[in-house]
A and B are shown apart, each in its own frame.
Chain A
Amino acid sequence: MGTLYEDIVAYGGEVFGEEHMETLRECVQCGKCTGGCPSGRNTALRTRKLFQMALLDLREEIFNAPELWFCSTCFTCYERCPKGVKTTDIIRIIRNLAAKEGHMSVPHRMIGVYVLKTGHAVPIGPDQMKLREAVGLESQPPTTQKYKEQLEQVQTIFKTTNYDAMIDFDWNTMNLRGMEKGGKK
């Protein structure tokens, strides 16, 4: 583990290329990101502050800030940054690092459970099948949820990348560990 900046460049660099991530260093704290941020009007999210904290290596402070998760990834700041900082991608990578270190809420982990069970973040149920019939469509769409062998491919990906371990998924109960009794972890 290096500094937060080094980790952002290393981990994000594997996907976006290191140069893309290194734009974080270009931030001059002008605040144009925060000025146009739809979340910042309503929440404690201050993108400018987040980047300063990242550069100051305030790792735990960032990872424990609830507002880290209030960015809707709208890319408004990404488009407008006068210094070309790849803002939204940097935020997503900071979140990736936070999640890897165990900072992930139960509702966010549950989205993974739905995908592991059905292949879909928003699965279909009997009521929605009736809606499909009402507009003249086949009751079940031919997606992963319909075909076990296709679902198994998605499950394999999650196992290979250790996503199942990251959210503490229990393959026996097909739920988050400790959630069997409906309790909150």
Chain B
Amino acid sequence: MTDGDLDLTYAYFLGCITPNRYPGIEAATKRIFKEFGIETKEMVGASCCPAPGVFGSFDMHTWLPVAARNLSIAEEMELEIYVTCNGCYGSLQEADHLLKEHPKLKERVNKVLSEFGREYKGTTKVNHSIVILHDIIGLDKLKERITKPMNDVNVAVHYGCHFLKPREVRGHGSSETPYILEDLVKVTGAKEVDYKDKLMCCGAGGGNRTADTPQSLEWTRQKLVNAIMAGCDCMVHPCAFCHLQLDRGQAEMNKTFGTNFNFPILYATQFLGLAMGLSEKECGLDIQTTTMPEKLLK
């Protein structure tokens, strides 16, 4: 930490896929935040968020108290939360929103939590890691730390769904003309390239991956083909669950469809990490399915 840096601490909601499948996302995010004076404290004892389109689809009355329990952990820490997955963002922010809007619902949920002495109060805030990068750290500060500019790299931005939508809950402006991820890519010197159906879902959400994996992979295949056809070198996104579908999904697709995909997939902080001089290993990009081309590592 140097002079002029931030002096902030956030509670990190780990979720499932980031810590348990793609720890590179966790490592890169913590490293970058620390670089700018942002300390991370893990939410000890936090569970699955639980997945908004999955548990939300099965039983909202189970989904909600589990999410509220997670929120109560950050409330006890007296800290705001950050997440590295759109699923976690979707669940925790939506739960927080509903519980603040509907007092009766809050009462009902707190009755469940009182079984083990917890209470949801509504005193924390759920932040997405890319919003902290964009709005709290800011593009100017990020730009100063870019030591390995991505000048000749063409990037396909993939948002995932629950970061932008529903916009009445998320509050990041238009879900059809977003800008946050584009700004973060451009700050590295890379070119953000528009491609067919850029805002399309990865295919994994809402239990679709579990309901029919090959069918869900067909969405992913279409998405990747569109990015490749537009001349993109890699895909940058803000969601651990999308990362699973887009990255490991390529191995599954190659097996299921007989294709030969190896299109680099990077979480936003992994991409920024490389541009800030972190190594492939420090960003955990050497322990995933898709491999990084020299262009991104030089």
Contact B211 A120 (CB under 8 A): no
Q: How far is the CB of B197 from chain A (nearest CB, A)?
A: 8
Contact B20 A120 (CB under 8 A): yes
Residues of A within 8 A of B281 (CB): 134-135
Residues of A within 8 A of B62 (CB): 157-158, 161, 163
Contact A92 B56 (CB under 8 A): yes
Q: How far is the CA of A17 from the CA of B97 in the complex (A)?
A: 13
Contact A92 B45 (CB under 8 A): no
Residues of B within 8 A of A142 (CB): 42, 44-45
Interface-located stretch among B46-54, B74-82, B137-145, B252-260? B46-54
Closest to A45 in B: B208
Interface-located stretch among B112-120, B123-131, B186-194? B112-120
Contact A95 B57 (CB under 8 A): yes
Residue picked from B47, B54, B112, B175, most chain A C-beta under 10 Å = B47
Within 8 A of A (CB), among B211-234: 211-212, 215-216, 218-219, 222
Contact B27 A108 (CB under 8 A): no
Residues of B within 8 A of A143 (CB): 14, 19, 44-47
Is B171 positioned at the interface, with any CB of A under 8 Å from its CB?
no
Q: How far is the CB of B259 from chain A (nearest CB, A)?
A: 16
Interface-located stretch among B1-9, B146-154, B162-170? B162-170
Contact B27 A137 (CB under 8 A): yes
Q: How far is the CA of A162 from the CA of B57 in the complex (A)?
A: 15
Q: How far is the CB of B12 from chain A (nearest CB, A)?
A: 10
Is A75 positioned at the interface, with any CB of B under 8 Å from its CB?
yes
Contact A132 B23 (CB under 8 A): yes
Give A130-165 as 1s and 0s: 1 = Cβ < 8 Å from B's Cβ atoms.
Answer: 011011110001111001001111101110110100
Known: A78-B166, A128-B20. A95 touches B45 (CB 8 A): no
Residues of B within 8 A of A172 (CB): none
Residues of B within 8 A of A158 (CB): 62
Residue picked from A134, A154, A156, most chain B C-beta under 10 Å = A154
Within 8 A of B (CB), among A93-144: 93, 95-96, 99-100, 104-105, 107-108, 111-112, 115, 119-124, 128, 131-132, 134-137, 141-144
Is B65 positioned at the interface, with any CB of A under 8 Å from its CB?
yes
Contact A124 B20 (CB under 8 A): yes
Residue total for A at the interface (Cβ-Cβ under 8 A): 66
Contact B46 A74 (CB under 8 A): no
Is A43 positioned at the interface, with any CB of B under 8 Å from its CB?
yes
Residues of B within 8 A of A120 (CB): 16, 20, 47-48
Is B196 positioned at the interface, with any CB of A under 8 Å from its CB?
no
Q: Per a CB cutoff under 8 Å, which of A12, A107, A132, A156 touches B115? A: A156
Contact A137 B23 (CB under 8 A): yes
Is B24 positioned at the interface, with any CB of A under 8 Å from its CB?
yes
Q: Per a CB cutoff under 8 Å, which of B46, B64, B199, B210 touches A111? A: B210
Closest to B104 in A: A14
Q: How far is the CA of A73 from the CA of B50 in the complex (A)?
A: 15
Is B58 positioned at the interface, with any CB of A under 8 Å from its CB?
yes
Is B277 positioned at the interface, with any CB of A under 8 Å from its CB?
no
Contact B59 A135 (CB under 8 A): no
Residues of B within 8 A of A131 (CB): 23, 284, 287
B residues apposed to A, CB below 8 Å: 14, 16-17, 19-21, 23-24, 26-27, 42, 44-48, 50-62, 64-66, 69, 98, 101-102, 105, 108, 112, 115-116, 118, 161-162, 165-167, 175-176, 197, 199-201, 203-208, 210-212, 215-216, 218-219, 222, 281-284, 287
Supply 7 further A-B pairs (C-beta < 8 A) apart from A107-B211, A123-B16. A38-B203, A42-B219, A66-B211, A72-B161, A73-B57, A121-B16, A134-B23
Nearest 7 A-B pairs (CB), nearest first? Answer: A150-B45, A73-B53, A75-B165, A73-B206, A119-B47, A141-B19, A122-B16
A residues apposed to B, CB below 8 Å: 12, 14-17, 38-39, 41-43, 66, 69-76, 78-79, 88, 91-93, 95-96, 99-100, 104-105, 107-108, 111-112, 115, 119-124, 128, 131-132, 134-137, 141-144, 147, 150-154, 156-158, 160-161, 163, 166
